[in-house]
């Protein structure tokens, strides 16, 4: 499964939101699995969107055929668009589906990992971070994905409330980071917390 992460700064909120509804046209596309996102909590005007595709081949076919037509209605409503593609590695909590309807909050972490530590980083995600997140009340599901060959990883988790996610963060993150030797693995990390916009879910 291919995971597409899009981030941009909106300059015309009304126009952007109207255009965002046009992406419902994705539903007829071969290989499309789901898309959703919302507004950054920490950076005003910044939007994050996440799309899921069965394969890179089917995604590339969509980009060549239909993408520009769907995107045309949002032209001029945003700036600084960044797009990154990742390949699914494993679930953060068992039974991941690219479904957003029950989520209130998204958390994204974008990690650049030292080349010789990539395997260890993935192992620690599986053995240390995943069980902790999966056992947290309010954490619905998540996905761990990798971009090659840049040693970049994406961790996306879906939560049913901000309060539950805050509880997980304050109680456990420092202890888990020590156990997973996160400081030795990661060259840089950037993250954000996103308030879901239900009207954008496809």
> Taking phi first (over 0 means left), then psi (-120 to 50 degrees means alpha), and beta for anything else, what does residue 41 get?
alpha
pLDDT value of residue 69: 93
pLDDT value of residue 117: 92
Say whether 125 sits in a helix, a strand or coil.
helix
pLDDT value of residue 135: 83
Strands (E), the chain: 2-10, 32-40, 46-53, 78-91, 105-113, 139-147, 152-159, 186-196
pLDDT value of residue 169: 66
Based on the number of CB atoms within 10 Å of its own CB, is 153 exposed (0-12), middle (13-18) or buried (19 or more)? buried
pLDDT value of residue 193: 94
pLDDT value of residue 7: 98
Neighbours of 16 (CB within 10 A): 19
For residue range 91-100, what is the model confidence (pLDDT) as tens digits? 998 889 999 9
pLDDT value of residue 130: 86
**DSSP structure string for 185-199:** HEEEEEEEEEEE-GG
Say whether 19 sits in a helix, a strand or coil.
helix
> What domains are defined for the chain?
2-200 (3.30.70.100)
Identify the DSSP state of 151: T
Spans of the chain, pLDDT less than 50: none
pLDDT value of residue 167: 67
């Amino acid at each position: 499964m291919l995971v597409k992460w899009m981030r941009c700064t909106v300059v015309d909120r009304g126009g952007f939101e109207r255009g965002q509804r046009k992406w419902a046209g994705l539903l007829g596309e071969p290989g499309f699995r789901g898309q959703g996102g919302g507004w950054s909590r920490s950076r005003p005007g910044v939007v994050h969107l996440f799309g899921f595709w069965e394969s890179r081949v089917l995604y590339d076919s969509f980009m060549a055929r239909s993408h520009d037509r769907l995107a045309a209605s949002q032209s001029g409503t945003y700036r600084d668009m960044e797009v990154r593609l990742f390949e699914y590695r494993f679930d953060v909590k068992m039974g991941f589906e690219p479904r957003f309807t029950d989520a209130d909050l998204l958390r994204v972490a974008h990690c650049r990992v030292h080349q010789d530590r990539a395997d260890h980083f993935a192992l620690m995600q599986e053995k240390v971070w995943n069980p902790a997140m999966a056992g947290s009340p309010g954490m619905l599901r998540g996905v761990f994905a990798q971009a090659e060959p840049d040693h970049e990883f994406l961790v996306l988790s879906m939560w049913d409330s901000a309060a539950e996610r805050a509880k997980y963060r304050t109680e456990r993150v420092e202890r888990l980071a020590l156990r997973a030797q996160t400081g030795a693995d990661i060259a840089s990390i950037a993250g954000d917390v996103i308030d879901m916009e239900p009207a954008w879910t496809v």
